[in-house]
Amino acid sequence: MKTEVTITIKPDQESNKKLIESLIAGELKKKGGFIYGEFSRAHRKEFVFVKKSIDARHGQVKLHLKYAVYADEQPQSLKESLPEWRVADGKHSVIIVGSGPAGLFAALRLLEKGIRPIIIERGTDTTQRRKDIALISTQDKVNGESNYCFGEGGAGTFSDGKLYTRSNKRGDINSILKLFNYFGADPKILTDAHPHIGTDRLPKIINAMRAKILELGGEVRFNCKCTDFVIENNTIKGIVAQEGGKEKTLPADAVILATGHSAKDIYLLLAKKAPQSLEAKTFAAGVRVEHPRQVIDQLQYHGNQNAKELGAAEYRVTTQVEDRGVYSFCMCPGGFVVPSASGPDEIVVNGMSAAARNSRWSNAAIVVEIRPEDIPQKFKEQAKKEGSEVLAGLLFRTEIEELAKQNGNGQAAPAQLLQDFLENKKTEPAKLPQCSYTPGIVSSNLNEWLPPFIAARLAQGFKQIDQKMKGFICDQALMIAPETRTSTPVRILRDKESFECTCVKGLYPAGEGSGYAGGIVSSAMDGVNAAQAIINSFYPIP
């Protein structure tokens, strides 16, 4: 027999085993005499820790701990819950364009059926990618194919490794977390309410996944860029790839498109090959706001000394301004702001944290919801020339990033004190504080070049956020711009049942770049779903 209970304790009581068992017994009694009696009479009892969440509301910090309590029943082990992979048998091969979470988890799912995955990655492996990323900060050099957005593991590999998602209807979240743990992630990701791997650990985990795929007969090709699709009778037969300075045609029985949110060239390609497969979608743009970590810890933990053991504090804020959402995204406690441009003519910022989350700063994107109807007409007209009006949001996003470049210096990003932004005045360069963004910052009045409807909503949103989180607006709060890659402005349409692109049979859009996910875990689940759809097409159930 198994049942789940949740108890509430103070942070300094977390290691008090007797207290925890007493509280669990109390919760079982509340559930009913029969349940409590069954557990009391059981010969064997086991308490399995399931989940921990931190509650810092109302001026008191509490921990909510969920336990699964087993009576005369053996809990399932991690090993028992892992998939059984097979060596690829060569009967079918599937090209996966992109080695982010959608691509990697799709490959692992295909290998459960012995289907051979061929992962095509435009960027480099994690070792070379780390070197290319370092050049962004030290020499202002952005490699268009190997950066924070492109390369082995996708955009999340070097920009945080957050595993929290609310997309529980997309698939089995725990199965994704268990695989991350199997490949090397800390077991805490299985129980933390907001699990997080850390950018310092994630590359090794991605490497372990690659090794397993190769061991089972899969293939991973780096510096291999998809440049065209081979389509016959509205059915994909393979792709054309640029590799080693040469173009190659790579045949396949199906293609999973898992290119990530920054692969602008793929949208342009689809606009020419299958324009009806694209639709405009809502996205967001804004800034990174960085505070000294101690400021956020004080705000969230209310000065509670017992909270020090909990580490850097998180926050999540959301409000509405003129019928558009203004909200935080990818909050990085004890983290860094990083340069995430995918081309030399733009500036883009993002956030990350190492596993320890122990830097002097905490940051988050604060962004404004942008709907297709918000895009200025000039971008729609330009998009028509590119093959599809739905590309307008993509072109609008690009202009913001190019304007940031013009108002920065190399990869040094435009920045402004939050209080000065609200007063519409440029921050004196000498008053810009030290920050975590290593390429450096340049004083700029963001009101002068951010699109007015974004700047105005940000200003009002900050005031509303400060009402809920008093002290958010302070003389140490710094804005670094722009944050534009929270999601893609374009969706690649697919059938809800078959997961195939509505215009091209055998093409399976998946993950963030296709508009169906918003983070590592949701992308991984989407990749698994796409792979399962392919399995069903190869081996239909009678």
Task: Give tens-digit pLDDT for 75-133.
Answer: 766 566 789 999 999 899 999 999 999 999 999 999 999 999 999 999 999 999 999 99
* pLDDT above 70 coverage of the chain, percent: 95
Number of helical (H) and strand (E) elements in the chain, helices listed first:
13, 22
- d(C-alpha 93, C-alpha 255), whole Å: 9
pLDDT at 199 over 80: yes
Structure confidence at residue 34 as a pLDDT band (50, 70, 90): low
What tokens appear for 149 in the block? 């957005």
Q: What is the pLDDT of residue 10?
A: 87
Res. 31: pLDDT tops 70: yes
Burial of 17 (0-12, 13-18, 19+ CB in 10 A): exposed
- The percent of residues in the chain predicted with pLDDT above 90, rounded, is 77
Looking at residue 145, its pLDDT comes to: 96
Q: How confident is the model at residue 160 (pLDDT cuts 50, 70, 90)?
A: low
Average pLDDT of the residues in 244-265: 96
User: Residue 301: is its pLDDT beyond 80?
Assistant: yes
Give yes or no for residue 155 having a pLDDT over 70.
yes
DSSP 285: E
Q: What is the pLDDT of residue 153?
A: 95
Mean pLDDT over 486-507 rounds to 96
Q: Using the predicted structure, report yes or no on whether residue 38 has a pLDDT greater than 80.
A: no
Question: Which one is predicted more confidently, 263 or 3?
Answer: 263
**Share of the chain residues as helix, strand and coil, in percent rounded to the nearest 5:** 35, 25, 35
Average pLDDT over residues 257-283: 95
Question: 230 φ, ψ to 5°?
Answer: -95, 105
Q: How many residues does the chain have?
A: 542
Which of 200-214, 227-241, 298-312 has the least mean pLDDT? 298-312
Distance CA 75, CA 239 (A): 46
Res. 448: pLDDT tops 80: yes
- Would you say residue 36 has pLDDT above 90? no
Is the model's pLDDT at 42 over the cut of 90?
no
Least confidently predicted of 51-65, 68-82, 444-458, 470-484: 68-82
pLDDT of residue 75: 72
Average pLDDT over residues 293-299: 94
- Token couple for 177: 């977390």
> What's the pLDDT band for 33 if we cut at 50, 70, 90?
low
Q: What are 384-413's pLDDT values in tens digits?
A: 998 899 999 999 999 999 999 999 999 999
Mean of pLDDT over the chain: 92
Q: Residue 308: pLDDT above 90?
A: no
Amino acid identity for residue 378 in this structure: K
Q: What is the pLDDT of residue 80?
A: 64
Strand partners, 242: 225, 247
Q: pLDDT tens-digit profile of 263-273?
A: 999 999 999 99
173-182 and 101-111 helices cross at what angle (nearest 10)?
Answer: 90
pLDDT at 303 over 90: no
Look at 154-163, 313-322, 531-540 and tell me which has the smallest mean pLDDT: 154-163
Of 194, 189, 196, nearest to 49 (Cα)? 189
Annotate 49-98 with three-state secondary structure. EEEEEEECHHHCCEEEEEEEEEECCCCCCCHHHCCCCCCCCCCCEEEEEC
Between 33-47, 414-428, 509-523, the lowest mean confidence (pLDDT) is in 33-47
Q: Which of 22-26, 63-67, 286-290 has the highest mean pLDDT?
A: 286-290
Strand order in the sheet with 224-232: 224-232, 235-243, 246-251
Task: Classify residue 151 by its DSSP letter.
Answer: S
Q: Are 364 and 330 in contact (CB under 8 A)?
A: yes
Peptide bond into 482 cis (omega under 30): yes
Distance between CA atoms of residues 397 and 489, nearest Å: 8
Measured between alpha carbons, how far is 297 from 130 in angstroms, rounded to an integer? 31
Better-predicted residue by pLDDT, 509 or 37? 509
pLDDT grade for 499, boundaries at 50, 70 and 90: very high
Yes or no: say if 87 and 216 are a contact pair by the CB < 8 Å rule: yes
Reported as a single tens digit per residue, the pLDDT across 166-178 is 766 778 899 999 9
Token pair for 11: 């942070």
C-alpha pair distances (Å), 100 with each of 4, 367, 489? 34, 24, 19
- What pLDDT was estimated at residue 158? 84
Pairwise CA distance, residues 104 & 152, whole Å: 10
pLDDT, tens digit (0-9, with 9 covering 90-100), for 131-143:
999 999 999 999 9
